[in-house]
Amino acid sequence: MYQDVIEQAVNKMEKTKEVYRQELASLRAGRANPKLLDRITVDYYGTHTPLNQMANIMAPEPRILTISVWDQKAIPMVEKAIQKSDLGMNPANDGKVIRLVVPELTEERRKDLTKMVWKSAEEAKVAVRSIRRDAMEQFKKMKKSSDITEDDQRKAEDEMQKATDSAIKDIDQMGQEKEKEILSV
């Protein structure tokens, strides 16, 4: 019975880790990566459309991204969306393809990015702890309504704590890897 609660909580923790992983992928680390543009949405004729759903994004060189927009008329809209974003890059287009040169990161920018990595990590950890707290409350309710014994409650809480510790360790690991990637010149 309490296994279902643990299973649901673990699934939620996995989703939280996946969101954090995607957030890290969209932070630039000095080299071109098509995932940098995943968060950008373009105001495409009144509809906010993700850039990766209206263009082909490639990294032909380590420091250049090319964006081949399928609808040529949308190129100015895409450029505008990129300029509005927090990427700090200026798009250049030749009428068919938009090129983005990924600038070399300054020491100050690297430090800012690592702060962002750890801020996001802390938010992910808070979400994981919140999931744990909700599960623990469910265990207490189950115990109160005599659905589980006190021993089962203790066992469930231990399992929940182990799952939480594991998720937080994974989040820290991802953060450390991203920090290392950002700080390597």
Question: At 126, which CATH number?
Answer: 1.10.132.20
Q: What is the CA radius of gyration of the chain?
A: 22
Residues 95 and 112 in one domain: no
Domain end (from 101, 135, 158): 101
Please indicate, yes or no, whether residues 70 and 128 belong to a single structural domain of this protein: no
**CATH code, domain carrying 65:** 3.30.1360.40
pLDDT above 70 as % of the chain:
97
Sign of CA dihedral 175, 163, 18, 131: negative
Number of domain units in the chain: 2
Q: Answer yes or no: do 176 and 111 share one domain.
A: yes
pLDDT at residue 30, as a whole number: 65
Please check whether residues 55 and 68 belong to one and the same domain. yes
CB atoms within 10 A of CB 185: 8
Q: Are residues 52 and 6 in the same domain?
A: no
Q: How many CB atoms lie within 10 A of CB 172?
A: 14
Residue 29's pLDDT band (boundaries 50, 70, 90)?
low
Which residue range(s) make up the domain with 138? 2-25+106-183
Q: What is the spatial distance between Cα 159 and Cα 55, in angstroms, rounded to a whole number?
A: 45
138 shares its domain with 179: yes
Last residue of a domain, one of 101, 118, 137: 101
Give the bridge partners for 50, in sequence order. Answer: 41
Mean pLDDT of the region 14-43: 82
Closest among 163, 15, 126, 129 to 137, alpha carbons compared: 129
How confident is the model at residue 133, as a pLDDT?
95
Domain boundary among the residues 43, 72, 101 is at 101
Point out which residues pair with 92 in neighbouring strands: 99
- The structure's pTM equals 0.69
Nearest partner of 33 among 182, 140, 136, 135, judged by Cα: 182
Alpha-carbon span 146 to 73, nearest angstrom: 65
Q: Are residues 112 and 179 in the same domain?
A: yes
* pLDDT tens-digit readout, 41-70: 888 888 888 888 888 988 888 788 899 988
